[in-house]
A and B are shown apart, each in its own frame.
Chain A
Amino acid sequence: MINQGVVMEAGMVQGMDTVIDSRHGTILYLEDVSVSFDGFKALNNLSLYIDAGELRCLIGPNGAGKTTLMDVITGKTRPDTGSVFFGQTIDLLQLDEPAIAETGICRKFQKPSVFDALSVFENLQLALKTNKSTWATLFSRLQDEQLARIYEVLATIGLTHLLDKPAGILSHGQKQWLEIGMLLMQDPKVMLVDEPIAGMTHQEVERTAELLLSLQGKHSLVVVEHDMAFVRSIAKRVTVLHEGSVLTEGSMDDVQNDPRVIQVYLGE
C-alpha cells in the first residue's frame, strides 16, 4: 500500500513537480479505450483500473493488445476513443511522451531498448530522475547521492562489473536487466513492465520476481508476461486480455479456472 500518512492527509502522492490525486485509491484509469489500425481493432472498448501501489499482472495470447495498451498509456499511440487518466486529474491523452514520463509513468519495452553506443553507466545516468530540460542537462554534474544511487542500482541489476562497457555488447538478458535498472533510476510512480524475463536464466527470473515484489507498495506496477509460473509467483491480481478487451480479472487461481480463459488459450 502507498505511504499511509500522505494518503490520509491529502490523498495526494507528491511527485517531482506534479501532484497525482489518487484519493480513491486508483492511480490509473482507462475507460472505453479503442485503438484500431486500418480497421483492425487492437483495443476494443477496454476499461482497466490500476490501484496505487498494486502489482498487476496482464496476460493474454499473442496479439491480445497488451503492448498496445502500454503504448496508449505512455502516449505512443493515440486511442480513437476513450479516456486515460493518471490519478483523478491528469488527462494523459493531453500529454506527449516526455510529459507522461515526467509525471511518473515509465516503461520497459518488450524488445529491450537500451542505448548501444553508451556505456551501462551512461544508460543509467540518462535515466536518472532529475531536471531533464536542455540547459539543465547541458550543465548537469552528478551529485554524490545521485552517483550513489547509480551504484546502488548497478548492484541491484548485477552489472557493476560492466559499468563502462557499451550497452551494445550486453547479452539479451543483461539488456533486460539494464532496462529494469533504467526503470529503477527513474523512480516512477507507475512502472509498465513488458515481458521482463525473456532471455533470463532461472535464477535471474527468481531475482526479477523478488525485485518486482519489493517494488510494489512504493510503486504501482503493471507486468506483462507469458510465463505463467512467473506470473503465479508474483501476482495478486491478474487481468486477462483477449482481442483488445478485458476477458476477466481476478486472482491467479480464479483466472486459471475460468473456462473462457482456458478456451482462449487452448482453443476450442
Chain B
Amino acid sequence: MNCSSHIKFFCCGLWLCLSLGFSPLLRAEATRPELLELLRSGTMPDKEAAIEQLANLPDSLELLQALQEGRLMELKADGKLVIVNRPGEPALFSDALSKTVLDNLDKSQLSKINVNNRIRTLLKKAIALQQLNDADAGSRLLAVEALGKLMDQSSAARLAERLQTESDDAVAAAIRRLVLLDQMQNGNKEQRIQAIASLKTVNSQELVNQLQAMTETDGEHFKEADSDIRNLAAAALIEIKGRIQAYAAMETLFFGLSLGAVLVLSAIGLAITFGVMGVINMAHGELMMLGAYTVYVLQQWLPDYLGLATMLSIPVAFIVAGLAGIAIERGIIRHLYGRPLETLLATFGVSLFLQQTVRSIFSPLNRSVSSPDWMSGSWQINDFLSLTWNRFYILIFSLLVFGLLVQILKRTRLGLEVRAVSQNRAMARAMGIPSGQVDALTFGLGSGIAGIAGVALSQITNVGPNLGQSYIVDSFMVVVFGGVGNLYGTLLAGFSLGIANKFLEPYAGAVLAKILVLVFIILFIQKRPRGLFPQKGRAVEN
C-alpha cells in the first residue's frame, strides 16, 4: 500500500502508463494476438504485463480462467493457443483467440502454458476485474469480494469506475466499502477521517486487520504516523470489537439453539412415551439410529438424487421407526405395564439387539451420509457471523415437528384418547377407549418421531451403531429437566440445556461442559424433583 502511494507521485493515475513504465516490451495498447503471444513465449514479467492488460480488455474471462486452471495449452506444431474446455462442455478444445471449436486434436499435441504463484495472484485479480462486468449481480458481488482481498491502486480505480454504472444495491454497497477502505489508507486526512467514520459500522475482517495495523508499532514508531487518525482508528476498533463480541454471543446462541433443537427432537418422542405411558424406552436411541440408517439406505438407492432421498427418508424413517416401536410395544412393553423398572431393562435388551443387528448388516464402522446441496455450506451474514445451513434447517425442522405434534395431541381423536389414557388408564378403558390400541399408537408415534430425529441427526453427526447411545442420556436429561408429560417443558428444557452447553463450552471445554450440565440437573432435581413443569394430581403421588 505504501509503495503504491509513492508511485502516485510519478504517475497521473492511469495504471496503463504504469505497466508501460515497467515493461518496455509492451506497447500501451497491445492487440489481443500480441498479448496472447506474450503469454505463450514471454518471460514471466512479460506474462504479468500481458495479464494486466487482458484484464482490461472485454471478453477475456474465459482465457484468464483457462490459464489459471491450467487449461491453456500451446499447440506444439504451430504455437497456437488452445483452451481445453471444462468437462461437460460440448467441445473438447477451442481456439483461444477466435474461440472456434477445434476438432482432431489430441492432448499429446499440446503443452501447457506455465504460470507461477505471482501470476496466479495476478490472474485472480484479473478474473475478478473481468467478472466485475458480469451480467449476474451475484457473480459481480463475488468479484468485488475477491478484489477486496487483492486491493491495489489499479483495482481501486476500476472499482470506483464501476460504481458509476453499478445498478445492484448490494454490489454497489460492497464496492463503496472497498473504495472507502482504500480512501482510509490512501486518501487525504479529511478523506481518511471520513472513511473511518463511515466504515466503523461495517463488519469486515479486512477492516479490523487494517485498523489493527494502524494502531500498532513496528518497534519504535507507530505504523500510522498521524496521531489523530490513529486515535480514531483505535476508537473505531473498540467499537467494532464490541460488535464482534455480540456476534460471537449470537453465534453461540445459535449453536446452542441448534443443539437444543437436536435435543428436543430426540427427547420429544421419549417425552411422549415416558409422559403418557410412564414407560422408559431405553431403545429410543436405537430407534433414532434406525432413522439415520434409513437416510443412508435411501441415499444408496437413489445416489443421483441425494436431496430427494433425504426428504423422502423423513416419512420413511417415521414409518420404519414407528413400526419398530409398535412391535416393541406389542411384543414386550404391553406385558410389563405398571412395572417401569422392568420395562426399562427389557427395552435396554431391545436396544442391544438393534445395535448388534445394525452392526451385523452395515458393519460396525460409521457410514457416511451426504447432505443435499442446499443444506451444506453456511449463511454468511457478515464477516463475523455465519450460520451453517444444516443446523439452521434442523432448528426449523424441530420446531415444525414440535408444532405438529402439539397439534396432533390437541386436535385429533388419537390425541384426545392419548390424554385420557395418560390421566386415568382405568377410567379411560371404562369409557370404551381401547387403551391397548392407544398405547400402541402412542408408542408408534413417539418412536416414529425418534426416527425423524435420526434423519436430522444423520445430517450433523456420524451415522453408526453407537449413534443412539450417545444421545440417550442427554435426551433423558431433557425429559427429566422439563418435567415428565409436558411437551412444552421438553421444548424449554431442550433449548436451555443446549444453550447452556454451548455457552459453557468456551470456558470449560466440551466434555466438562457436558459434565457440568449433568451435575446441574442432578442438583436441579433437588429443588424440583418433578422437573420444570411437574405433573400434578393424586395419581402422580402414589
Judge A-B direct contact (beta carbons within 8 Å): yes
Residues of A participating in the B interface, judged by any CB pair closer than 8 Å: 37-38
B411: interface (CB < 8 Å): no
Shortest distance between the CB of A185 and any CB in chain B (Å): 24
Contacts of A38 in B (CB 8 A): 536-537
A38 to B423, CA, bound (A): 15
**Residue of A whose beta carbon sits closest to that of B542:** A111
4 cross-chain CB contacts under 8 A: A37-B536, A37-B537, A38-B536, A38-B537
Distance, CA A38 to CA B536, complexed state (A): 8
Chain B window 508-536, contacts with chain A (Cβ cutoff 8 Å), 1 for yes, 0 for no: 00000000000000000000000000001
CB-CB under 8 A from B537, the residues of chain A are 37-38
**CA of A38 to CA of B537, assembled, Å:** 9
In the bound complex, what is the Cα–Cα distance between A37 and B536 (angstroms)? 8
How many Å from the CB of A109 to the closest CB on chain B?
11
Q: What are the nearest 4 A-B pairs in CB distance?
A: A38-B536, A37-B536, A37-B537, A38-B537
| Interface magnitude class on chain B | under 10
Q: Which residues of B contact A37 (CB under 8 A)?
A: 536-537
Contacts of B536 in A (CB 8 A): 37-38
Min CB gap A129→B, angstroms:
27
What's the nearest-Cβ distance from chain B to residue A98, in Å? 17
A37 to B534, CA, bound (A): 13
Interface residues of B in 373-399 (CB under 8 A from A): none
Query: B532: shortest Cβ distance to chain A, in Å?
Result: 17
Whole-angstrom CA separation of A154 from B70 in the bound complex: 103
The distance in angstroms between the C-alpha atoms of A37 and B537, with both chains bound, is: 8
CB distance from A96 to the nearest CB of B (A): 15
CB distance from A112 to the nearest CB of B (A): 14
Q: Residues 64-101 of chain B: 1 if any A CB is under 8 Å from the residue's CB, otherwise 0? A: 00000000000000000000000000000000000000
User: Least Cβ distance of A43 to chain B in Å?
Assistant: 15
- The closest CB in chain A to the CB of B541 belongs to A76
Q: What CA separation (Å) do A152 and B537 show in the bound complex?
A: 40
Cα distance, A238 to B536, chains bound together (Å): 33
**Bound Cα distance from A38 to B535, whole angstroms:** 11
Contact residues, B298-330 vs A (CB, 8 A): none
Bound together, the chains give a CA A38 to CA B539 distance in angstroms of: 14
Q: How far is the CB of A60 from chain B (nearest CB, A)?
A: 18
A76, closest chain B residue (CB): B541
User: Cα distance A82–B536 when bound, in Å?
Assistant: 22
CB distance from A151 to the nearest CB of B (A): 33
Give the Cβ gap from B528 to chain A, nearest Cβ, in Å: 15
| Bound-complex Cα distance A244 to B347 (A) | 45
Closest residue of chain B to A67, judged by CB? B538
Chain B nearest Cβ from A67, distance in angstroms: 10
A246→B177 CA distance, assembly (Å): 81
CB distance from B85 to the nearest CB of A (A): 75
Interchain CA distance A45-B536 in the complex, whole Å: 22
User: How many Å from the CB of B536 to the closest CB on chain A?
Assistant: 6
B481 to chain A, nearest CB (A): 22
How far does the Cβ of A215 sit from chain B's closest Cβ, in whole Å? 29
Cα–Cα, bound, A37→B539 (Å)? 13
B61 CB → nearest A CB, Å:
72
- Nearest-neighbour CB distance to chain A for B535, whole angstroms, equals 11
Q: How far is the CA of A38 from the CA of B533 in the complex (A)?
A: 13
- What sequence of 0s and 1s flags, for each residue 431-460 of chain B, a beta carbon within 8 Å of any chain A beta carbon? 000000000000000000000000000000
CA separation between A49 and B94, bound complex, in Å?
108
The smallest beta-carbon distance between B425 and chain A, in angstroms, is 18
Smallest beta-carbon distance B526→chain A, Å: 15
Identity of the chain B residue whose Cβ is nearest the Cβ of A77 in the assembled complex: B541
What is the minimal beta-carbon distance from B225 to any residue of chain A, in angstroms? Answer: 74
Nearest CB on B from A78, distance (A): 13
Determine the distance from Cα of A152 to Cα of B196 in the docked complex, in whole angstroms. 98
Residue of A at shortest CB range from B536? A38
